[in-house]
Structure 1
Amino acid sequence: MASKDEKNLAQVVEKIAKMDEPRRSIMQRVHEIIVAAAPELKPRIWYGMPAYAASASTPALVTLRNDDRMNLAITEKAGFRPAGGIDGALMPAAWFFETVDADTEQRIAQIVRSVLD
C-alpha cells in the first residue's frame, strides 16, 4: 500500500500531467526545481493546486497555479519577512512566470528554500 506522501505526489504529478502544453512542461520543470531545492517539502494538492508542505497533514507553504498566468506563491502559512529597500514593509508572496530559464530556476529554488528558514 502506498504511503500518504506517495499518494499526494501522484496527485500532484497527475494534476500537472492534465495541463495543456506548453504549460505542462513548464510546470513539470518548476515541480522538479521545487523538489530538488527543498526535498523535505512534501508535494500535495491544496485547494485544487499543486502545493508543497512540511508534511502530508500540514498546510501548504508553496503553491503553483495555472490560471491566466502561471504563478509560484508562498502561502500565509510560511514565515514572512519585510522585503526592505524600496519595498519597505511589503512582503513578497507571488511570482508570475511564462517560461523557466536558468536565472528563473535559481530564483525559484531560492524562494522555495526561503520558506524553510
Structure 2
Amino acid sequence: MMDKDTFSDFEREAMRERAEELRKTKNTEADVLDKISEMTDSEAQIAIEIHHLVKKIASELKPKTWYSMPAYANRNGKVVLFFQPATKFKARYSTLGFNDAATLDEGDFWPVTFAIKQITPTIRQQISLLIEKSIQK
C-alpha cells in the first residue's frame, strides 16, 4: 500500500487529468488548443509553433491531450511526441518529448527529450527534422 506522500501534488493532478481524458469519448485538436491557451505566453508560443509544425510535417498524427499536455498520436493511438510546459511541474525549462512510438533510434543510445526555452529559426529546423524522423517507418 502506498502512502499519500508517494506522489507529489503535481503527479496526482496529472493522473487526475489523465483519468479525465480517458473518460472523454473524444480528445480533439480543440482540447489541445484549449490547453495551449491556458499556458503562459512564452510556453504557448512554443506549443503553438510545435502544433503547426506537426500539422505541416506529420499531418497523419492526431492532436490530443496526454496528461493534460499537447500531444500527437499515431493511427494506433500511441503518443509519438508531446510538449511539457515548464510551469506544469515547476521546472526551469519546457520539454519536447518523444515516446517509443517515435522512430528516433540511433544504435543503442539516443535522446528522446529536449529542453526548449524558445523557438528560433535554428531550433524550428531541428524540431522539424525530429518530427520527420519520428514518423519514418
- In which range does the TM-score fall when normalised by the shorter chain? 0.7 to 0.9
3-state DSSP class of the match of 2:41? Answer: coil
Percent identical: 24
**Structure number with larger C-alpha Rg:** 2
> Is 1:72 matched up with 2:135?
no
Where in structure 1 are there 5+ consecutive unaligned residues?
Answer: 84-88
Q: Distance in 2 between matches of 1:109 and 1:41?
A: 14
**TM-score, normalized by length of structure 1?**
0.81
The aligned amino acid for 1:76 is D
Q: Distance in 2 between matches of 1:77 and 1:26?
A: 22
Contact 1:51–1:60, Cα closer than 8 Å, also in 2: yes
Question: What is the Cα deviation at residue 44 of structure 1?
Answer: 0.6
Contact 1:70–1:96, Cα closer than 8 Å, also in 2: yes
Q: Number of residue pairs matched? A: 106
Which deviations, in whole Å up to 9, do the C-alpha atoms of 1:28-51 show, x marking residues without a partner?
Answer: 112112211211111111122110
Structure showing greater relative contact order (alpha-carbon pairs closer than 8 Å, 6 or more residues apart): 1
Q: Distance in 2 between matches of 1:53 and 1:36?
A: 15
Runs ≥4 in structure 1, deviation > 4 angstroms? none
Where in structure 2 are there 5+ consecutive unaligned residues?
Answer: 1-25
Q: Which residue of 2 aligns with 1:115?
A: 134
1:91 pairs, out of 103, 106, 110, with: 110
Give the alignment's Cα RMSD to 1 decimal: 1.7
**TM-score, normalized by length of structure 2?**
0.70
> Is 1:11 matched up with 2:31?
yes
